[in-house]
Chain A
Amino acid sequence: MADEAKSGGGLEFHPMDQFIVKPLFGEAGDAVHWYTVTNVTLWLALAILAVIGLLVLTTSKRAVVPSRGQSIAEMAYGFVYKMVEDVTGKDGLRYFPYIMTLFMFILCANFLGLIPMSFTTTSHIAVTAIMGFGVFFAVTILGFVKNGASFLSLFWVSSAPLPLRPILAVIEIISYFVRPVSHSIRLAGNMMAGHAVLKVFAGFAQVTAVAPVAILGVVAIYGLEVLVSAIQAYVFTILTCVYLKDALHPHH
């Protein structure tokens, strides 16, 4: 396994090399502690700066005729606002700031990861699991605070025939607890798989015979990845809205 990773299976570089967490300062082989400033730290910080730049700096003047940046910020705001309103309902709008934060952060982190030689922070399960489990715990606690013990009726499908309900309850409970796992791994898996495919095609480009095809392939897949980055941010937030709706209205 170690030999295989070192030689890259015949490629000049291994497609998974881009996901290695490295200390930003010092030697490449240094130990990574929880306080070490790594490339993940750098790109997470850049993602936050990008969100601030897009949402705060562009809207600070608040022109009646918006500039380009202000239009983008307003469109993003309106898009997420409508999504929360449509999926969660009017009473979900109280939690709009959280969902807007999630959406803008994931979108910026995904797009920053597409810059060549950059680091895709959202391709690490450690990053997405924090967000996924954060949503899970927030929504579960919110459900119990809002509904008390009647939140458990989420697992008791009252529209199903009575003999089926215990079986459905088991399935519902399992699917409820799988939610944070699938929620976080969907984002990380999509980003990781897409970037690995990019690097595999880039690896083919060094073989002269197939280089033109490989380079065209890289361009095409890069376009696809731009689409996937936006769609995965959208999917993550819309699923957050769905879970929030379950917490606010648990009755089937």
Chain B
Amino acid sequence: MEGDIAQMGQFIGAGLAAIGSGAAAIGVGHVAGNFLAGALRNPSAAAGQTATLFIGIAFAEALGIFAFLVALLLMFAV
């Protein structure tokens, strides 16, 4: 095995940061699932709310992207 402790820490940290992506996936699934549940109850109102759906998904996803950013910074910038 080559490398040192600092590099190992980088890789472990990047892997831990990737957990945040899974958390974002839960958030996005929650938004989309609740939208679908509401849309099936009242399909006529659903078409007007797709923009809101995408805004909600984008905001939920943003925090997962931050986790991805931390992983990238650990891998390539530190």
Contacts and interface: CB of A to CB of B under 8 A. Distances in A.
A239 interface: yes
Contacts, number: 35
A185 B62 CA distance: 8
B55 A186 contact: no
A182 interface: yes
Interface residues of A, number: 18
A234 B62 CA distance: 15
A185 B55 contact: no
Contact of B51 (A87, A182, A185, A189): A87
Contacts of A1: 7, 10
A185 B69 contact: yes
A235 B65 contact: no
A235 B54 contact: yes
Nearest to A5: B76
A102 interface: no
Determine chain B's interface SS by DSSP, over half rule. Answer: helix
A242 interface: yes
B55 A189 contact: no
Interface in A66-90: 83, 86-87
B66 interface: yes
Nearest to B58: A235
A1 B2 CA distance: 11
Contact of A186 (B10, B62, B76): B62
Contact of A189 (B7, B48, B57, B69): B69
A231 interface: yes
Contacts of A86: 48, 51
A238 interface: yes
Interface of B: 2, 7, 10, 48, 51, 54-55, 57-58, 61-62, 65-66, 68-69, 76
